[in-house]
Amino acid sequence: MMEATNVGDELESALNGNRRAMARMLSSIENGQFTLENIPAKPPSRESHAWAVMAITGAPGVGKSVLVDALMTAWATEGVRVALLAVDPSSPRTGGALLGDRVRMTSVDNPAISDRVYVRSIATRTSSGSVPLIVEDMAAFLLACGWDRVLIETVGSGQAELRCAAVADRIVVVEGPARGDGIQAEKAGLLELADIVLVNKADLEGAERHAGELTESYALDGDDAPDVLLTSGLKGIGIPEAAKALLSLKGSNRALRARMRERLLAQHERRLVQHPAYNSVLDGLCEGTLDITEALTQLKGDDHERAS
């Protein structure tokens, strides 16, 4: 709905700290009506801290939202300005989404810190992974608007969901108690990319044992093993320690190749879904006028021409 003429004003207003303007600009970025090339280069200073964008991921129901809320409260109380991009799935059938992460958020409603906390709900839309790639641009914009740190809470994800590696500087994996036997901790996947693991719901039985299994498993990795901490977002257990550890969390170079692979694949997919013929090719597949090979050729063909 934005008039072309006032985009400049809105942008300036957003960069000067107006939250309404910022929220509207984020929509424009999400909708592809505005790209980051149009903002004056204002890279966030990374001197004072090591990371700017952190992904919080883990299975559905392990308590990510409540934990994130507790961490944001701890940081904002210390004066850190923290923005959260909370991702929930879009319906693959209708494109609609029910974004419910705010239900568990108390930090945004706390007047003492609410000017240092921003929460934005995001639907996955056409993206296939647990994080739509446009979130990378939205995070960069928030940093340009003066937010110190950006958290991305992914869709509740499974063992092999690694897409968050494409958009974040650090990856926090949240686990819960009683998540299967010891062999689960040995399985490959998301846990290999973690910079730190938080075993949440620490007040429940099985949490300590699971944390022990993870620590043991990581010990085989040698020096570069991530820490495993026990937390309870709901009960406040281990939150000050986790908040401190996360704020100064160093990136590990473990699995660098795997992270780069995610970046590459994610950007490739982004190109594909942004291709002008994407929707008509999907139609063709549904109607049976195209097979998968032909569809790929169409999408690749145009792309190649544009590039050359």
Partner 1 sequence: MDQPLRIVVAKPGLDGHDRGAKVVARALRDAGHEVIYTGLRRTSQQIVDTVRDEDARFLGLSSLSGAHAHLFPQVCEKLREAGLDDVVVFGGGIIPEDDRPALHAVGIRAVFGPGTPTSEILDFIATAAGMNDAGVGQSSTWHWDASA
Q: Does 102 bind partner 1 (CB under 8 A)?
A: yes
Q: Does 36 bind partner 1 (CB under 8 A)?
A: no
Q: Does 283 bind partner 1 (CB under 8 A)?
A: no
Residues whose CB falls within 8 Å of the CB of residue 6, separated by 6 or more in sequence, listed in order: none
Q: Which of residues 1-30 bind partner 1 (CB under 8 A)?
A: 1, 19-20, 23-24, 26-27
DSSP per position, 233-297: TTTTBTHHHHHHHHHTPPPP-TTHHHHHHHHHHHHHHHHHHHSTTHHHHHHHHHHTSS-HHHHHH
CA distance 71 to 59: 18
Q: Does 95 bind partner 1 (CB under 8 A)?
A: yes
* Neighbour order of strands in the sheet with 53-58: 117-123, 82-88, 149-153, 53-58, 170-175, 196-199, 227-230
Contact 64, 174 (CB under 8 A): yes
Q: Does 149 bind partner 1 (CB under 8 A)?
A: no
Q: Is 32 left (phi over 0), alpha (psi -120 to 50) or beta?
A: left
Query: Which residue, 108 or 245, is less far from partner 1 as judged by CB?
Result: 108
Query: Which residue, 66 or 185, is less far from partner 1 as judged by CB?
Result: 66
For residue 96, the minimal CB distance to partner 1 (Å) is: 4
Query: Which residue, 119 or 199, is less far from partner 1 as judged by CB?
Result: 119
Choosing from 109, 216, 283, 294, the residue that interacts with partner 1 (CB under 8 A) is 109
Query: Which residue, 88 or 262, is less far from partner 1 as judged by CB?
Result: 88
For residue 125, the minimal CB distance to partner 1 (Å) is: 8
Query: Which residue, 19 or 250, is less far from partner 1 as judged by CB?
Result: 19
Q: How many residues bind partner 1 (CB under 8 A)?
A: 30
The phi, psi pair for 152, rounded to 5°, reads -120, 115
Q: Does 123 bind partner 1 (CB under 8 A)?
A: yes
Among the listed ranges 87-95, 128-136, 137-145, 291-299, the one in contact with partner 1 (CB under 8 A) is 87-95
For residue 94, the minimal CB distance to partner 1 (Å) is: 5
Q: Based on the number of CB atoms within 10 Å of its own CB, is 165 exposed (0-12), middle (13-18) or buried (19 or more)?
A: buried
Query: Which residue, 280 or 297, is less far from partner 1 as judged by CB?
Result: 280
Please choose, from the candidates 153, 169, 151, 154, the residue with its C-alpha nearest in 3D space to the C-alpha of residue 76: 151
Burial 20-45 (b: 16+ CB within 10 A, else e): ebbebbbebbbeeebeeeebeeeebe
Residue numbers of the site for partner 1 (CB under 8 A)? 1, 19-20, 23-24, 26-27, 31, 90-91, 94-100, 102-104, 108-109, 114, 118-121, 123, 125, 279
